[in-house]
C-alpha cells in the first residue's frame, strides 16, 4: 500500500468528498482523507498522519486530473489557503455542502429529520465579503519556484497579505484577491507602496518587533468604506504619512482610523481605534433595516447572503406579532431587529458588552423601541425572575459560534421550553450534536442550508425546532 519510510500511496483514485473540504479514497480498506483533490483525480499521496483505519495526506503528484475540475480564477490559488475550492464548479460545491449537512445531522445528530430543503446558493460568488484583514510580515512566504530562484544569503523580504496555513510567521504577498470589491485591492497595494516609499518596517511576528501590523478594510453595500491600520507602536509622523496618503488617493474612504497594538496577538477587541478622518463607523442595510458597524463590531461577512439567511430565520420563527422573541448570542442585535416587526417584544442576550451597546444603538437607529438587550451569559440571565420582568419566550433564536452551544445552555433551553426554537449554525457538526441533546423535548420540523462562503467548505444551516 505504501512505502514505509516515505509514507507515500501510489496512484490512488479519489472517489468522493469528505468533511472539512477534503476528498477521500480507500486503499486496502483504509480511508485516506486528502486535501486539494477532486473525485476522479488519480494521485500519489504523501501521508501526514496514519492510523489503523484512516489516514490524512496531501497530493504529491497528479497522474490524471479529474474531468470535473475547472481552472481556478485566482493567481494565488493553492498557496494562500483561501477559496480552496476554486477548482470545483460552484453547483458541485453546493451539492456537496448539501450532502455534508445531511450527513452531519444524520450521523451525529441521530434524530428524526424531515426532508431537507435545497441549499440556497449565492448569486455573487466573488467579491462578496464586506470585511478583509491583511497582515504585514517581514518574512514573505516563497513558493517552491520562487525559492529556487533565490540566492544564498538573500535577505528575507516583507509581505502584505494572508498567513500561510500552519505557518504562523510566514505571509504570502497578495497582489490580487477576489473576496472584496474594489477599491480593496487598490488600497492594499497602495499601503504596501507607501510603506516601501517611507521605509516603514513590517512586523516581525516571531520576535514581536516592527511598525506595520494589520490592515482591516470594511466595505458596505451602501458604498461606505472603513480602513483601519494597526501599528506596533505610536509613531505619529509615520502614521500621518500613511493616513494622509490614503485620504488623498481614496477620497471615497468614509472612516479612516489607526489602532496602536503593542500586544503579542493581533486582536483589537480590547484596544481603542483612533479616528483620523470621517465618522468612525459605516452603515450597512439588510432590507429596510440599517446597522451601525464600528471597527470592532461583528456583522455577517457576506451582506447580501446574510440578508437571505435572516429571511429564512424570520420565516422559521413564524412570528404573528404576538410573540416574545429571545435572540441568544445576539451580537449587535441584527437578527432580533430584523425579526422585530413580527414580535411583541425582542429580548437579546450577549456576553460581549460592546456588542450589546452596539445592539442598543441599532435598535434606536431603526426605531425598534420594543427591543431590549442584556449583557451576560444566557444561563445566568434567563431566570424565573427575569421571565417575570420581561416575559417568557414564545420563540427563541440561537446563533452560537462554531463550537455550538454549551451543554449548560442546552439544559437551560430544555427548562425554558419555548414552543419554537430556531437554531442558526455555522457548523452543522456541532449543531447536530446539540440537536441530539434537544431531542428529548424538541422535534426538527424544517432544515435550510445556506451557502455564505463560495469556494470554501464552510456552510450555514438553519433548523426549526418545535416542542413535542
Question: CA dist 433 to 22, 105, 240, 327, 428, Å?
Answer: 21, 8, 51, 21, 9
pLDDT surpassing 70 at residue 3: no
Flag whether 292 is in a domain. Answer: no
Q: What is the pLDDT of residues 264-286, one digit of tens each?
A: 999 999 999 999 999 999 999 99
How many angstroms separate the CA atoms of 270 and 215, rounded?
17
Distance CA 253, CA 420 (A): 43
Q: Which residue has the higher pLDDT, 313 or 144?
A: 313
Residue 87 within a domain: no
The per-residue pLDDT for 1 is 46
By percentage, how much of the chain surpasses pLDDT 70? 99
Backbone angles phi, psi at 16, to 5 degrees: -160, 170
Tell whether 354 and 457 lie within a shared domain: yes
Is the same domain home to 440 and 405?
Answer: yes
Mean pLDDT of 142-148: 82
262 and 329 co-located in one domain: no
Is 32 in the same domain as 103?
no
Do 371 and 434 lie in one domain? The reply is yes
Asked if 419 and 309 sit in the same domain, the reply is yes
- The pLDDT, as a whole number, for residue 7 is 86
Mean pLDDT of the chain: 94
CATH number for 256: 2.40.50.1070
Lowest mean pLDDT among 159-173, 399-413, 427-441: 159-173
The pLDDT value recorded for residue 163 is 92
Q: What is the mean pLDDT of residues 132-153?
A: 88
Which is the catalytic residue, given 74, 80, 339, 426? 426
What cell does 320 get?
404573528
Is the distance from CB of 433 to CB of 405 less than 8 angstroms? no
Q: What are phi and psi of 438, to 5 degrees?
A: -85, -10
Whether pLDDT at 167 is above 80 = no
Q: What are the backbone angles phi and psi of residue 386, rounded to the nearest 5°? A: -65, -40
CB 321 within 8 A of CB 342: yes
> CATH number of the domain that 423 lies in?
3.40.50.150
Number of domains in the chain: 3
pLDDT, tens digit (0-9, with 9 covering 90-100), for 290-306: 999 999 998 999 999 99
Annotation marks residue 382 as catalytic: no
> Which residue range is the domain that position 228 belongs to?
131-286
**Mean pLDDT value across residues 138-153:** 84
Confidence of residue 2 (pLDDT cuts 50, 70, 90): very low
Q: Do residues 236 and 149 share a domain?
A: yes
Kindly state whether residues 336 and 231 are assigned to the same domain. no
168 pLDDT band (50/70/90 cuts)?
confident
Amino acid at each position: 500500500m505504501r512505502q514505509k519510510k516515505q509514507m507515500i500511496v501510489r496512484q490512488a483514485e479519489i472517489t468522493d468528498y469528505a468533511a472539512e473540504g477534503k476528498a477521500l479514497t480507500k486503499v486496502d480498506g483504509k480511508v485516506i482523507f486528502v486535501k486539494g483533490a477532486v473525485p476522479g483525480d488519480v494521485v500519489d499521496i504523501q501521508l501526514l498522519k496514519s492510523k489503523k483505519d484512516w489516514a490524512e495526506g496531501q497530493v504529491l503528484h497528479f497522474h490524471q486530473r479529474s474531468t470535473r475540475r475547472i481552472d481556478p480564477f485566482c493567481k494565488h490559488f493553492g498557496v494562500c489557503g483561501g477559496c480552496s475550492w476554486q477548482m470545483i464548479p460552484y453547483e458541485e460545491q453546493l451539492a456537496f455542502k448539501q450532502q455534508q449537512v445531511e450527513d452531519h445531522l444524520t450521523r451525529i445528530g441521530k434524530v428524526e429529520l424531515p426532508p431537507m430543503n435545497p441549499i440556497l446558493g449565492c448569486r455573487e460568488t466573488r467579491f462578496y465579503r464586506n470585511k478583509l484583514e491583511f497582515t504585514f510580515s517581514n518574512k514573505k512566504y516563497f513558493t517552491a519556484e520562487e525559492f529556487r530562484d533565490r540566492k544564498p544569503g538573500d535577505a528575507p523580504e516583507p509581505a502584505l497579505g494572508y498567513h500561510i496555513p500552519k505557518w504562523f510567521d510566514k505571509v504570502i504577498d497578495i497582489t490580487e484577491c477576489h473576496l472584496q470589491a474594489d477599491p480593496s485591492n487598490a488600497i492594499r497595494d497602495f499601503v504596501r507602496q507607501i510603506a516601501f516609499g517611507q521605509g516603514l518596517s513590517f512586523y516581525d511576528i516571531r520576535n514581536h518587533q516592527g511598525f506595520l501590523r494589520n490592515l482591516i478594510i470594511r466595505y458596505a453595500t451602501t458604498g461606505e468604506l472603513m480602513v483601519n491600520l494597526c501599528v506596533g507602536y505610536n509613531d505619529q509622523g509615520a502614521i500621518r504619512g500613511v493616513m494622509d496618503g490614503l485620504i488623498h488617493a481614496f477620497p471615497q474612504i468614509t472612516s479612516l482610523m489607526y489602532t496602536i497594538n503593542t500586544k503579542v496577538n493581533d486582536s483589537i477587541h480590547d484596544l481603542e481605534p483612533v479616528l483620523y478622518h470621517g465618522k468612525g463607523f459605516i452603515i450597512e442595510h439588510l432590507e429596510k433595516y440599517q446597522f451601525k458597524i464600528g471597527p470592532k463590531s461583528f456583522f455577517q461577512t457576506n451582506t447580501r447572503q446574510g440578508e437571505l439567511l435572516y429571511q429564512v430565520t424570520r420565516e422559521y420563527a413564524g412570528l404573528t406579532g404576538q410573540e416574545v422573541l429571545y435572540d441568544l448570542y445576539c451580537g449587535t442585535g441584527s437578527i432580533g431587529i430584523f425579526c422585530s416587526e413580527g414580535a411583541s417584544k425582542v429580548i437579546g442576550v450577549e456576553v460581549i458588552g460592546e456588542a450589546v451597546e452596539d445592539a442598543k444603538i441599532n435598535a434606536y437607529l431603526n426605531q425598534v423601541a420594543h427591543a431590549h438587550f442584556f449583557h451576560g451569559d444566557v444561563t445566568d440571565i434567563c431566570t424565573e425572575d427575569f421571565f417575570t420582568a420581561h416575559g417568557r419566550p414564545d420563540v427563541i433564536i440561537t446563533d452560537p459560534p462554531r463550537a455550538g452551544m454549551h451543554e449548560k445552555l442546552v439544559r437551560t433551553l430544555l427548562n425554558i421550553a419555548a414552543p419554537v426554537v430556531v437554531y442558526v449554525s455555522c457548523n452543522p457538526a456541532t449543531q447536530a450534536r446539540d440537536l441530539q441533546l434537544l431531542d428529548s423535548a424538541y422535534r426538527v420540523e424544517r432544515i435550510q442550508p445556506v451557502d455564505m462562503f463560495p469556494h470554501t467548505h464552510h456552510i450555514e444551516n438553519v433548523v426549526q425546532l418545535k416542542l413535542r
